[in-house]
């Protein structure tokens, strides 16, 4: 498995609470603003979509690409971050 970023490690280390969507691994300022414009302003809202898609990697990656234009690396980073968070907290 590829190494995870500090942002990923920080995110999965604690409950999500009211964290901004930009705290998700793979989501920076540009993608974060695009997501916010579509109503996905908090990490838990993106988590909700992740769960609606039944944690399916392909569906989530496609949704992220279509919703905010995330590239393959960004999609993978965000998916991995949410999957690991779910494994730890759900």
Structural domains in the chain plus CATH codes: 6-89 (1.10.150.40)
Q: pLDDT (tens digit, 9 = 90+) per residue, 5-52?
A: 999 999 999 999 999 999 999 999 999 999 999 999 999 999 999 999
Q: Is the pLDDT of residue 86 over 50?
A: yes
Cut 0.85: pTM above it: yes
**Nearest alpha-carbon partner for 53 in 66, 42, 41:** 66
pLDDT at 2 over 70: no
What pLDDT score does 1 carry?
A: 43
Instruction: Write the CB contacts of 20 (distance below 8 Å, at least 6 apart in sequence).
Output: 32, 41, 42, 43
């Amino acid at each position: 498995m590829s190494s995870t970023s500090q942002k990923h490690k920080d995110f999965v280390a604690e409950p999500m609470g009211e964290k901004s969507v930009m705290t998700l691994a793979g989501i920076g300022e540009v993608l974060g603003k695009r997501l916010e414009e579509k109503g996905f302003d908090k990490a838990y809202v993106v988590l909700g979509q992740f769960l609606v898609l039944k944690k399916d990697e392909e569906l989530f990656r496609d949704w992220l690409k279509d919703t905010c234009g995330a590239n393959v690396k960004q999609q993978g980073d965000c998916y991995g971050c949410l999957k690991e968070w779910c494994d730890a907290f759900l």
